[in-house]
Structure 1
């Protein structure tokens, strides 16, 4: 596609963002995508282009799986509950979930999970059940499975990305302290009050709006070695990422599965739009309130967005920096040059973040998955650069 029509609205002076979106359809080649940006709580960019499914154009209400960009939503649920005094970030998980203390996990805190330093990386027998809708919706069974896990290292001693366990552990903590699932708290306390079209557990009646994902092409050098360990299920990296042989090249089929769309997978199962991500990060970029409605305090945003862990990540094999659930800029993040940004990206290219220093937020979502090389300018990064150059 070389002559794509960009739909939506762009405020005067920000036309370069739409031009950057159009350029993505030429190189590296998008199928369908959307982008949104807010400044001081006002939407200055809300655009989309391409197709959601064969013969179905992308629309403003198209939603799409965004993989680990979901972690930012899960972090916000914890942020809200902590801000309201419902849980203590410093407390051991076992205070709320006593069974979790098995096999040396009694010292793992909520903060350890949020900062990817818990050491609880792998879930036995999870991989064969990924397509089992009954298992994915049995949160009691999943909690029992995680309770029986052993940490791979002393909690707090190093950084290791919890691709899947992050969400299930936090989700069970939410169930124990609130009584609702994390997805339901998200829906009732955040998404519905602020009009955010993002779901952690998508009802079947909403499935007709979901864009079809397309698998990432095989990576080229120098990215091959970078991803190789994550392609194989007999490595720590592959097991933490819950992939089977070549799993990263088959992620679209998994995420397109109605069972995965419906299940609450708080680390990687969110489904929503670019403007949805930009909206919840607009709350955080503007002191905790948007359009006259407050969600969290400004003081808690400063606490939750401060760096808590850093180092070479045992799973991603990259330098990582984490606040309380939010990823901070690193050389490989789409918002690498935004000093005060915090947010989260997702497998294949989706991303959302807040920049309180500019009172700015951004979201990008697409359906063509890609595995970028370590030094490659990503599609989202191209739009982010255009956005900041337009300020």
Structure 2
């Protein structure tokens, strides 16, 4: 099929997942990629292939920006703090962050943000800021900027994807209730105890392990071209996504920027591996514990993974379903056919999810960004299909 060499380990009976990865390198094409899956807390797939950068092969410790797949990690931080009684999901954000109440946001709750129903979508004059490394690393200035935002609709009245504001709002709530940043809580309470190689704010000394992202090729499908035309700095959709004039076809340079790697961007700036995503979702797929260590209760997982919002999304312009920070299956999600799955995908193709009904988790990360047509079987879908057919 292809001469690409698949590295890593695959348990007997799951060889089809490695075959699916090899097929991805042929069509639609990969530069470098990794996939991992756990069943009942045991890693049954942990594979990688291709190259991370020119002349540098992908390795087991290669990490890569995964865009909005980061939202699942941010949701888990909130989940942990709520489970421990440090914050109330139903409480107004202004209870913890009084300055947030200005401009009609006094009724916005933590749940509204987690379910993308807060209406706080856009930041005024964002274009000069998205490339400003000093601003991206100044959480006080970011908090002041978010406090000054005006909601686009009555909180709770509809669904509108908070591509970037989701993370900054939750991040400031964490700072107010805990004293640590969201990225630090992630490292100290989740990543380090469970050996998860995923970062929200990557230290410079780790940058040498990061795979270089490659921009998505322009789509040929007219429907996709029309869709992308909606995401410019002149539209609500583009402003919510904080795109620049290059739109979705020029995202790699922004994510490859060392300043962006170092910054804590809890909605879209996480950097990590496929096995890292599969590991944190393995905790959630197995009742809140892994390898004898408990993180959250099984009861709280049921609460946090239950559908809380649904409808045609004002920003993505597609049907959306959200639990408390986790995305639920929809026709265009990589885990569309998995009824009990919850997780999050990221721009360009990355994804992680848990399926408690099978005690299964999955993670996929790559460095070739793609914008698939609506009827296209994505790279992640091919891997997930092979995984489930192997059970």
TM-score, length-normalised on structure 2? 0.99
2:353 and 2:223 mapped to 1: Cα distance?
Answer: 25
Encode CA deviations 1:40-69: one digit per residue, 9 max, x unaligned. 000000000000000000000000000000
Q: 1:192 to 1:230 in 2, by over 3 A?
A: farther
Aligned-residue offset at 1:91: 0.2
Q: Offset at 1:125?
A: 2.3
Report the Cα offset of residue 133 of structure 1: 1.2
Instruction: Describe the shift of the 1:370–1:223 C-alpha distance in structure 2 as closer, same or farther (beyond 3 A).
Output: farther
Q: Does structure 2 conserve the Cα–Cα contact (< 8 Å) formed by 1:354 and 1:361?
A: yes
Structure 1 residues 226 and 291 mapped into 2: Cα distance closer, same or farther (>3 Å)?
Answer: farther
**SS at structure 2 position matched to 1:363:** strand
Whether the 8 Å contact between 2:310 and 2:321 is mirrored in structure 1 is: yes
Q: Match of 1:68?
A: 68
**Maintained 8 Å contact 2:228/2:248:** no
CA drift of 1:124 comes to: 1.4
RMSD: 1.0
For residues 134-155 of structure 1, what are the alpha-carbon distances to aligned partners after superposition, in whole Å with 9 as ceiling and x for unaligned? 1001101011011011000000
Instruction: Describe the superposition over 1:142-173 as per-residue Cα deviations: whole angstroms up to 9, x where unpaired.
Output: 11011011000000000000000000000000
CA displacement at 1:373 relative to structure 2? 1.0
> Which residue in 2 is equivalent to 1:264?
264
Partners of 2:212 and 2:54 in 1: CA distance: 8
Structure 1 unaligned regions, length at least 5: none
Task: Provide the secondary structure at the position in 2 that maps to 1:103.
Answer: coil
Moved over 4 A (4+): none
Q: TM-score when scaled to structure 1?
A: 0.99
The question of whether the paired residues in 1 share the 8 Å contact of 2:122 and 2:149 is answered with yes
Paired with 1:20 and 1:222, the residues of 2 have a C-alpha distance of 28
User: How far did residue 225 of structure 1 move?
Assistant: 4.4
Aligned-pair CA distance for 1:375: 1.5
Partner Cα distance (2:89, 2:269) in 1: 23
* Aligned twin of 1:384: 384
Q: 1:303-342, CA deviations, whole angstroms, 9 ceiling, x for partnerless residues?
A: 0000000000000000000000000000000000000000
Question: Secondary structure at 2:103's aligned position in 1?
Answer: helix
Q: CA deviation at 1:226?
A: 5.1
| Residue 127 of structure 1, CA deviation | 2.4
| Structure-2 separation of matches of 1:299 and 1:229 | 43
Report the Cα distance in structure 2 between the residues aligned to 1:217 and 1:9, rounded to whole angstroms: 31
Q: Is the 8 A contact 2:282 2:290 kept in 1?
A: yes
Aligned residues: 391
Determine if contact 1:230/1:241 at 8 Å carries over to the other structure: no
By how many angstroms is 1:132 displaced?
A: 1.3
Contact 1:223 1:372 in 2 (8 A): no
